[in-house]
A and B are shown apart, each in its own frame.
Chain A
Amino acid sequence: MGYCPNTPDDIREMLAVIGAGSVEELFSSIPAGLRAKSFDLPPGMSELELTRHMKEKAAACGADVVPFIGGGIYDHFIPAAVDHLASRAEFYTAYTPYQPECAQGTLQALYEYQSTICRLTGMEASNASLYDGGTAVAEAALMSLRITERHKVILDASVNPLHREIVTGYLHGLSAEAVQVEPKGCASDLDRLMAAIDGETAAVIVQSPDFFGNVQDFRDLAQKAHEHEALLIVSCYPIALGLVASPGEMGADIAVGEGQSLGNPVSFGGPYFGFIATRKRFIRNLPGRIVGETIDHQARRGFVLTLQAREQHIKRHKATSNICSNQSLCALRGLIFCAALGKKGFEELALLNYDKAQYAKSQLASVKGVDLLTRGATFNEFTLSLPTDASEVVQRILEKGVAAGVPLGRYYQGMEKALLVTVTEKRSKDEIDRLAVLLEEALWS
């Protein structure tokens, strides 16, 4: 069953070569007292039975719900080529490219990925991926502590709340502090963020579009941070970067984000990938693997894992991070996604998201009793205020097979009536119109 190919004859002959009487004898170095006290698992299944079993589970996974939910994870169209190419077994059944001559496929792809991330974010050096968006923000925070040799970061509370929880957890053990600055209404309080920066600040961490959907301008914040020799860390949504100013253009020192929207399915929470990119001068402080270009003895171009002396397998407890396995295959999907859309397509995709969300905004905000909380610029998400508890409304609409949005009361005190709505290019005008009708019904009938 365990895909074990050796026949009884093979096993007999192998034992003879080893000089052992039985397979069990090979386990004789394990003292009897240490043997498993239980191993109570059911018998195995055939492929057919397993397929039925798994299809049953998959039938109950809400895949037919029309999602107007995002909050960091987005339902975007994935070109067929992404699945086909990333499903090449030469990619997905390979290990980390430690032997570069027989891993040029993975290495070159990761180099192209790093180049893509740099171009998206306006940065100069990217690593080969991190686990997810939340851990990427946390790694960026740790990176800023190393660079500045300070112990405090300022964390805008309009950064994704799940990401903030991860950041505070990561900093906790290191006796470093994350000072959170609450939003003003449904937007970052830029004045208070600026005022919070001082000579002890390692970095200010902000997000655009933020968790409420606002597209923000951080140029003044960057300047203020740099006056205090603090860094600006900007978490960004890569699809939005087809349209909105990049972290690099805003003056950020580190750009991070959740890469899922680039060609990775929502898949109940993963696998996705986190990305991190920075200025060239901070490259040695990046966590995780980095691919670099070089040549062989015949001057042929090739790619290797480089600057490995930062990493755990060499520097052990002094490494820039403990990360070893990353999300290479998901990063590959991200790369292929970007290349499939190309320069023009990527911009068109971003514009389409923007236009659809703007349409939805106007339709939903005109429902009786509904107001727009994010009154400034947004990308494909915005926050509404409802006349009643948003959780109840979402629950009512969910019964009709539509996930109307994310109620924000769970994340922000006093925002029980706020609803975060996401509209990707996959939502049709009809679906948007239907949501407006369902919202009206849920509120008033």
Chain B
Amino acid sequence: MAKFFTKEHEWVEVAGGQATVGISEHAAHELGDITYVELPKIGRSVKQFDTLAGIESVKAASDIYAPISGKVVEVNQALDEAPELVNQGAEAQGWICKLEGVDEGELAALMDAATYSTYLKGL
């Protein structure tokens, strides 16, 4: 499965009609030690690029935007107790939530891993 990235440093991976969403390794590094992830409510529907969740470190707070439209069906509950999972693996065990009812066509508005990597170099 391929990950796609937003300019705001979220990633999404779609498999079997379900999208897994998180923040990029780069974003996690920039934020520093994550102290809290405000998970979305299950059942909530979001449009692409709407605010989906929130994330905090000691000195910063950021919104997490939906990289793709869909309905929240699962959240990474482990982050409630261990927000540091995002630092340990932002693009793996530190995923934020899963969305259903997604339209893969929206991925066209995002960057693939290679493009995102070039984008980061330009920042």
Contact = CB atoms under 8 A, between A and B. Distances in A.
Direct contact of A and B (CB under 8 A): yes
Interface of A: 284, 307-310, 314-315, 318
Interface residues of B, number: 8
B61 interface: yes
Contact of B58 (A284, A309, A315, A318): A309
B121 interface: no
Contacts of A308: 58-59
A310 B56 CA distance: 9
Main SS at interface, chain A: helix
Nearest to B57: A309
A314 B57 CA distance: 11
A149 to B, nearest CB: 9
Interface of B: 35-36, 56-61
Contacts of B57: 309
B60 A314 contact: yes
A315 B36 contact: no
18 contacts: A284-B36, A307-B35, A308-B58, A308-B59, A309-B35, A309-B36, A309-B56, A309-B57, A309-B58, A309-B59, A309-B60, A309-B61, A310-B61, A314-B59, A314-B60, A314-B61, A315-B61, A318-B61
B6 to A, nearest CB: 20
A315 B58 CA distance: 12
Nearest to A319: B61
Contacts, number: 18
Minimum-distance CB pairs A-B, first 4? A309-B56, A309-B61, A315-B61, A314-B61
A43 to B, nearest CB: 47
Contacts of B35: 307, 309
B110 to A, nearest CB: 25
Most A C-beta atoms less than 10 A away, residue of B36, B56, B57, B59? B56
Contacts of B60: 309, 314
Nearest to A315: B61
A284 B36 CA distance: 10
A316 B59 CA distance: 13
Most B C-beta atoms less than 10 A away, residue of A307, A308, A309, A318? A309
A26 B36 CA distance: 47
Contacts of B61: 309-310, 314-315, 318
Nearest to A306: B58
Nearest to B35: A309
Nearest to A284: B36
Contacts of A318: 61
B58 to A, nearest CB: 7
B23 to A, nearest CB: 15
A308 B60 CA distance: 8
Contacts of A314: 59-61
A315 B60 CA distance: 8
A124 B59 CA distance: 24
Given A309-B60, A314-B60, 14 more contacts: A284-B36, A307-B35, A308-B58, A309-B35, A309-B36, A309-B56, A309-B57, A309-B58, A309-B59, A309-B61, A314-B59, A314-B61, A315-B61, A318-B61
A22 to B, nearest CB: 42
B81 to A, nearest CB: 13
B105 to A, nearest CB: 31
A295 to B, nearest CB: 15
Nearest to A313: B59
